[in-house]
Amino acid sequence: MKNAKTISPSLVVQQGFNVKMILFMIIALIVLFLLDVALGSVNIPLSEVLASFLGSSDNEAFSSIILKIRLPRAITAILAGSALSVAGLQMQTLFRNPLAGPSVLGITAGASLGVAAVMLATGSATTAFAIRQLGIGGSWLIILASTIGAMLVLLIILAISFKIRDNVIMLIVGIMVANITIAVVSIWQYFSDPEQIQEYILWTFGSLGGVTNEQLKVLALIIGFGILMTFFTSKSLNALLLGEDYAESMGLNIRWTRIGIIAITSVLAGAITGFCGPIGFIGIAVPHLTRSALNTSDHKILIPATVLVGAILMLFCDLLAKVPGSQTVLPVNAITALVGSPVVIWIILKRKNLKKSF
């Protein structure tokens, strides 16, 4: 530092992101959100949609559909898309692996186990439907079970993570724990009645429509908190881009960072899985799409952008799932993979830079 000089005029440092691209994303998000609210199996004129928003609609049926069904659904889509994408981004950076996602650590599998425990193990007298009939706050029990399941797997993973320093080994352990959990669910299904299995399978299809206005408040609070926490990890995530040894040499506490990231991820993914079922693909694909679109690995830019892209993609998938103009609603889990996979393949072929990001 003896020769520190003032900045030479020739040194102009470019910001590593594209402002136009971010603006485009914000506009796309607004447009898709409005479309998702406006379109559905019941044909509602655009004027009525706007009137419902402003509370000046005379048609009670329309405004009820808009405010009680479509609006919560669209907001759920935004929350689910953002949460799963941000969780995926953190997993990919932490494990420096392009295949990582919120499901790899067994978080989704754990949630599934919790739900299976409620739906399958309680005997035919108390199926999930029966539980709902009992009136225990709608499907709160399912949500509670899925969150507990996710937490249980998370605790096992965290306990192991105290023993292991290497993140790649940690990733393998996570995948193995997920497999064990899935195997337990399989065996459970094998010994269950067909009606119970049907309930469970319906849940695994994933749905954005099952969240009531009241539940949405809780979900929004949890997801908002999780995403806020993610912003606090952006500096650590950037340091992890260089690998654990470098990150540690720069003063990062690897163990606590890892615990923090895993905890945030499981809250985000666990909550969404509980409320909406296991939604695949988004968590892996969106971080890749975002990095590709902005050509940066800087998490200060990537985290907000991933929130945007995740919400956009989820809204788009929901629009397709509702099959506008028809009475059908397809399982959202199938749509996310059906729409997203070709997009990712196209990006890989076009950019060839996915792997360089790690």
Q: Which residues bind other proteins (CB under 8 A)?
A: 1-8, 10-14, 16, 231-232, 234-235, 238-239, 241-243, 245-246, 248-253, 291, 295-298, 300, 353, 356-358
Query: Contact at 8 Å (CB) between 147 and 269?
Result: no
| Spatial distance between the Cα atoms of 74 and 82, rounded to a whole number of angstroms | 12
- Name the minimum Å distance from CB 307 to other proteins: 16
**Full DSSP string of 201-232:** HHHHT--STT--HHHHHHHHHHHHHHHHHHHH
Q: Residue 14 Cβ, how far from other proteins at the closest point, in Å?
A: 5
For the bound state, the minimum distance from the C-beta of residue 223 to other proteins, rounded and expressed in Å, comes to 21
Nearest to 270 by CA among 356, 128, 142, 169: 142
Q: Compute the least distance from the CB of residue 240 to other proteins, in Å.
A: 10
178-to-110, 316, 321, 336 alpha-carbon distances in Å? 7, 29, 28, 21
User: How far is residue 300's CA from residue 303's CA, in Å, rounded to a whole number?
Assistant: 6
> Nearer Cβ to other proteins, position 248 or 334?
248
Q: With contact defined as beta carbons under 8 Å apart, do 72 and 216 qualify?
A: yes
Minimum distance from CB of 12 to other proteins (Å)? Answer: 8
Pick 206 or 304: Cβ nearer other proteins: 304
Structure tokens at 111: 């949630």
**Judged by CB, which is closer to other proteins: 12, or 54?**
12
Q: Which is nearer to other proteins, 129 or 256 (CB)?
A: 256
What is the nearest approach in angstroms of other proteins to the Cβ of residue 248? 7
Of the pair 152, 248, the CB lying nearest other proteins is at 248
Q: What are the helix (H) ranges across the chain?
A: 19-38, 46-54, 60-64, 71-95, 107-121, 128-134, 140-163, 167-190, 194-204, 213-232, 234-240, 244-249, 254-276, 282-294, 299-321, 332-351
Of 163 and 356, CB closest to other proteins: 356
Contacts by 263-267 with C-beta closer than 8 Å and gap 24+? Answer: 263/154, 263/158, 264/87, 264/90, 264/226, 264/229, 264/230, 264/233, 265/87, 265/90, 265/91, 265/102, 265/105, 265/107, 266/105, 266/107, 266/150, 266/151, 266/153, 266/154, 267/222, 267/225, 267/226
Judged by CB, which is closer to other proteins: 2, or 20? 2
Instruction: Output the smallest distance, CB 202 to other proteins, in A.
Output: 40
CB 178, min distance to other proteins, A? 27
Q: 129 vs 4, 109, 132, 135, 195, CA distance in Å? A: 71, 22, 5, 10, 10
* Least distance between other proteins and beta carbon 7 (Å): 5
Q: How far is the CB of 291 from other proteins (least distance, A)?
A: 6
Nearer to other proteins, 68 or 255 (CB): 255
If the CB atoms of residues 124 and 295 are measured against other proteins, the closer one turns out to be: 295
Of 10 and 327, CB closest to other proteins: 10
Phi, psi of 140 (to 5 degrees): -55, -35
